[in-house]
Amino acid sequence: MREYSTKISLTKNSRGIYSLDTSIGCSSGMANEIGGCYNDCYAAKSSKLYGYDFSKTVLRSFENEHHRRFILNQINKIPLDFVRIGTSGDPGENWEHTINILKGIDKCNKEIVIITKHWTVLKEEHLQYLKTINICINTSVSALDKPEILKNCLDQYNRLKPLCKSILRIVSCDFNLTNETGHKLAKIQSDLFKNESTLDTVLRVNKRNELVKQGVINVKESTFLGKKAIVSKYNKTTYFGKCYTCHEMCGLNIKQEIQSYPDKRGVTKQMLLFKIKGLALPHVQTEAINIPI
- Decide if 112 contacts 105 (C-beta within 8 A): yes
- Decide if 125 contacts 90 (C-beta within 8 A): no
Could you tell me which residues come within 8 angstroms of residue 38 by beta carbon, excluding any fewer than 6 positions away?
142, 144, 171, 203, 205, 209, 211
CATH of the domain spanning 11-173+238-288: 3.20.20
- The predicted structure's pLDDT at residue 7: 98
Predicted structure pTM score: 0.88
- The predicted structure's pLDDT at residue 5: 95
> For residue 66, is pLDDT > 50?
yes
Q: What is the mean pLDDT of residues 233-258?
A: 86
Partners of 287 in beta bridges: 11
Residue 290: pLDDT band with limits 50, 70, 90: very low
> For residue 257, is pLDDT > 80?
no
**Rounded-to-integer distance, Cα 250 and Cα 228, Å:** 24
- The predicted structure's pLDDT at residue 225: 73
Please provide the average confidence, as pLDDT, over all residues in the chain: 88
> For residue 68, is pLDDT > 90?
yes
**Rounded-to-integer distance, Cα 200 and Cα 148, Å:** 21
> For residue 293, is pLDDT > 50?
no
Q: Higher confidence at residue 257 or residue 25? A: 25
> For residue 283, is pLDDT > 60?
no
Q: How many residues does the chain have?
A: 293
Of 5-19, 217-231, 268-282, the poorest mean pLDDT is in 268-282
Residue 274: pLDDT band with limits 50, 70, 90: very low
- The predicted structure's pLDDT at residue 205: 93
Domain segments of the chain: what residues?
11-173+238-288
- The predicted structure's pLDDT at residue 228: 87
- The predicted structure's pLDDT at residue 34: 85
Of 96-105, 133-142, 189-198, 244-253, the poorest mean pLDDT is in 244-253
- Decide if 99 contacts 33 (C-beta within 8 A): no
> For residue 112, is pLDDT > 80?
yes
> For residue 78, is pLDDT > 70?
yes
List pLDDT tens digits, range 247-256. Answer: 899 999 998 7
Of 17-26, 66-75, 97-106, 232-241, the poorest mean pLDDT is in 232-241
Residue 227: pLDDT band with limits 50, 70, 90: confident
Q: Higher confidence at residue 258 or residue 59? A: 59
Q: What is the DSSP string of the chain?
A: -B---SB---EE-TT--EE--SEEB-HHHHHHSTTSGGG--HHHHHHHHTTB-TTS-EE-B-SSHHHHHHHHHHHHH-SSSEEEE-SSB-GGG-HHHHHHHHHHHTTSSSEEEEEE--SSPPPHHHHHHHTTS-EEEEEEE-TTS-HHHHHHHHHHHHHHTTTSEEEEEEEE--B-TTSHHHHHHHHHHHHHTTSSSEEEEEEEE-TTSHHHHTTSB--EEEEETTEEEEEE-SSTTS--S-GGG-SSTTTTTPPPSS--SPP--HHHHHHHHHHHTT-PPPPPP-EE-----
Q: What is the mean pLDDT of residues 71-99?
A: 97
> For residue 125, is pLDDT > 50?
yes
Specify the pairing of strand 23-24 against strand 220-224.
unpaired
**Rounded-to-integer distance, Cα 201 and Cα 141, Å:** 10
